[in-house]
Structure 1
């Protein structure tokens, strides 16, 4: 696997050529997909009929079942209830709605079409990460036109979900290189990996080194707080987080403890991190610590040491 430090020098035109060639491969989701991936004890996924660009809802479901099984296993979700999701084709932007379906299921809109399966993997991983990180725990304001959520710290969740998309593309790509889900998918792992590398080679993602992230965050945190959808800035954070997750996949376990406190979405980023730390079991606090390391100094004090030394976590306001 190409390291992230090498991605900065990955040849742009070579990546485009690889993707163009692989798009010509006659790869289709067929009936040979392993049946256990279509029925998983921790989730139930249905794909609604509609304009999927010439492919069937069953084909889309076969791909998304694999994505859901992989990401849920990576996160280590231990739910007593089955996660219910309905996927619908829409033309605006990929998103998961705050409203639920008639059976209480999450409603996910995707814009991917046709047999560009790498786009389904990329988009659905992002939206599923929102679900797994409790996006709907935030305070909501409901008016006659739409539902709005407090979004002061949503930029971090957006960066985390971008990380999930890239991680899943590379993780599934590596798996399918060795063991494709069926003979019809032989060789498609290269496509997933090539698409991830095509995204990762964008120059802005590597413009800031680890050593300069503290200063970068200090300069950009207000803009991020004001608008969670500044993709060029979220993607800088996501690229650095990806290095952490690929070196330490167990860090994914902490995301299910994010957004547990409803009011924290509109509080300071320090309070947001404090609430996340407090929600995590001691064994799952490492991701919060690594986030503090990445975005601000003073992370040498662990969550346990903070409690024992009575150092208030809110003092991170002076650190970040």
Structure 2
């Protein structure tokens, strides 16, 4: 595992952030046929649109083949790869709910970008943070999808759907459980829930992740290109120190220097009680 982390860090230093022409950084194939009244071809079109929208934040990486299945066990990215080494992503969408589809798929793509398979099954005891980060990324992606489909939808008749991405985003963003208790700052809240989060990355049915996501989102919204730092998480060396501070410090050590200040801001937001 350590060798794979070192290799990926080395490769990331060689990859350009900006490509001369768009080359899809992932090739999505839809395996399931049962998507309610949505055709698999339309589902694949939406998923490829998500890839196009989030591609600027992939640090020039190519994730190769990704097989997507509709499954009640989703949404989840499996640790096990397919027969030819492809990623396998399960989604749980029934019908032509493109916003829900984009929301789930972008969340799972965030896990791939965050090197989830190099820190499997909560080995870091900080997988909850990755989950929270990916929730924030999925909300961000919905906004990007709305803007993209407003001017460049996959099909002209889909342009009218663009506002629904924002509607879906706002319906979630405004949920009561995503707000901090009145008068409480995030470090105090985190101290209260740190043990539960370390033990279960999706404690309380993801309500805790979603609250943290709402607090992280403005940091990235102020400078969207900062999302590239997701590609450098989960690359720290294994140690007995499983603290959040160690996890974030490893992340900070591995990102290019121009993004280090963003992680400082995240540290302050989560850990500085002042």
Give the deviation of 1:271 after TM superposition.
1.2
Match of 1:61 among 44, 47, 59: 44
Q: Who is 1:112 aligned against?
A: 93
Q: Who is 1:50 aligned against?
A: 33
Q: Who is 2:3 aligned against?
A: none
Match of 1:292 among 247, 267, 271: 267
Does the 8 Å CA contact 2:151/2:159 hold for their aligned counterparts?
no
* Deviations 1:240-267, CA, capped at 9 Å, x for gaps: 1111111111220111000013626972
Q: Who is 1:206 aligned against?
A: 179
Counterparts in 2 of 1:273 and 1:43: CA distance versus 1, 3 Å: same
Give the deviation of 1:282 after TM superposition.
0.7
SS at match of 2:29: strand
Give the deviation of 1:160 after TM superposition.
0.6
Comparing 173-182 and 156-165, the one that deviates more: 173-182
SS at match of 2:80: strand
* Deviations 1:93-135, CA, capped at 9 Å, x for gaps: 3100000011111000011121111111010011000000100
Moved over 4 A (4+): 208-211
Does the 8 Å CA contact 2:24/2:55 hold for their aligned counterparts?
no
1:240 and 2:205 equivalent?
Answer: no
Counterparts in 2 of 1:137 and 1:265: CA distance versus 1, 3 Å: farther
1:90 and 2:65 equivalent?
Answer: no
Comparing 94-103 and 50-59, the one that deviates more: 50-59
How far apart, in 2, do the equivalents of 1:190 and 1:159 lie?
25
* Deviations 1:113-158, CA, capped at 9 Å, x for gaps: 21111111010011000000100011x5xxxxxxx45251000000
Unaligned runs of 5+ in 1: 1-38, 141-147, 298-318
Counterparts in 2 of 1:264 and 1:108: CA distance versus 1, 3 Å: farther
How far apart, in 2, do the equivalents of 1:117 and 1:65 lie?
12
Match of 2:105 among 98, 103, 124: 124
1:70 and 2:53 equivalent?
Answer: yes
How far apart, in 2, do the equivalents of 1:92 and 1:266 lie?
32
- The structure that has the greater radius of gyration is 1
1:225 and 2:198 equivalent?
Answer: yes
SS at match of 1:187: helix
SS at match of 1:44: strand
The root-mean-square deviation of aligned C-alpha atoms, in Å, is: 2.2
How far apart, in 1, do the equivalents of 2:165 and 2:107 lie?
15
Give the deviation of 1:165 after TM superposition.
1.0
Structure 1 segment 175-190 matched on structure 2, within 5 A: 175-190=148-163
Give the deviation of 1:285 after TM superposition.
1.4
Q: TM-score, normalised by structure 1?
A: 0.73
How far apart, in 1, do the equivalents of 2:239 and 2:225 lie?
25
Counterparts in 2 of 1:159 and 1:101: CA distance versus 1, 3 Å: same
Does the 8 Å CA contact 2:45/2:154 hold for their aligned counterparts?
no
Q: Who is 2:224 aligned against?
A: 249
How far apart, in 2, do the equivalents of 1:202 and 1:181 lie?
30
Does the 8 Å CA contact 1:159/1:234 hold for their aligned counterparts?
yes
Q: Who is 1:300 aligned against?
A: none
